[in-house]
Amino acid sequence: MSELISAEAKSWIGRSGEPQRVEINRSDIIKYSIATEQRQAKYLEGDEAPPMFMFGALRPLVPMDELGPDGISVDKFLPELPLKRVMAGGTEMKFHRTVHPGDVLRATRSLSDMYEKQGGSGPLIFVVYDLRVETEAGELVMEERQTRILR
């Protein structure tokens, strides 16, 4: 297989993006809980965020013209690669504490690995990100490892 990942792209491994600050409010928890058909009162009343709440809370709000054809904002924390079609490759999440209204969280994403494989329909590039979410005081809230596949 030819080498698809340039030395410049590989130099991104180990880089971290700017930390993202997120203030959690009761109204957002309630809206998310209703939209995702939660059943437990602690979620519907906004006392605690459901586990997958953070997935949406960290998505950037961008103008329509900055969305890709799939309706998701273009990831600026991705080096230039020859394959352009991005697909989800899996997510592993580890929760350390619940999220409550009033929490002020800091999320930092790092590019932790990049490798290529030969797939049934051609070459694939795997990009692995690690996300660390903690309170402003440094208490660990959540860790996530996300893999994206480019083809």
| Tally of CA atoms within 13 A in the half-sphere of 77 that contains its CB | 20
The pTM for the full model equals 0.85
Please write the tens of the pLDDT for every residue from 24-63.
Answer: 999 999 999 999 999 999 999 999 999 899 888 887 788 8
Residue 47 has, within 13 A of its CA and on its CB side, a CA count of 4
Selecting from 3.40.50.720, 3.10.129.10, 1.10.4080.10, 3.40.50.300, what CATH number does the domain 7-150 have? 3.10.129.10
pLDDT in tens, 84-139: 888 899 999 999 999 999 999 999 999 999 999 998 989 999 999 999 999 999 99
Give 7-17 pLDDT, tens digit per residue.
Answer: 999 999 999 99
Worst-scoring range by mean pLDDT, 38-52, 68-82, 136-150?
A: 68-82
Residue 51 token pair: 């586990």
- For the chain, the structural domain boundaries read 7-150
> So what's the pLDDT on residue 2?
59
Distances from the Cα of 54 to the Cαs of 11, 41, 59, 93, 107, in angstroms?
Answer: 29, 19, 9, 11, 10
pLDDT given for residue 125 in this prediction: 97
